[in-house]
Amino acid sequence: MPVSKSKRSRYTPPPPKNAPPSPLWVPAVMGAMMLVGLAIVLLNYLDAMPGEAENRYLLLGLGFITGGFALATTYR
């Protein structure tokens, strides 16, 4: 009697390999970049930065925050 299709063995891919944990510098730099970016934005709004409140300080602060989020995507 022929074997039905449902009883045939199916291919099962091997389980994914576990990635190693992130080095200690990743969360440290991630947190530092986010805090520095937040401080730059807040200091700009409080007029504590050199010169007047300018958009370049906001862009710099948001750049640091974006870099922190980019590192957060690599954190395991």
Q: pTM, whole model, 2 decimals?
A: 0.74
CA 72 to chain centre: 2
Would you list the domain boundaries of the chain? 22-72
Quote the tokens at residue 66: 């974006």
**Phi, psi for 16 (deg, rounded to 5):** -65, 145
| pLDDT tens by residue, 15-70 | 888 888 989 999 999 999 999 999 999 999 999 988 888 899 999 999 999 999 99
Helix 25-45 with 55-72: angle, nearest 10 deg:
160
Residue found under tokens 């370049």: 56
Distance (Å, whole) CA 37 – CA 63: 7
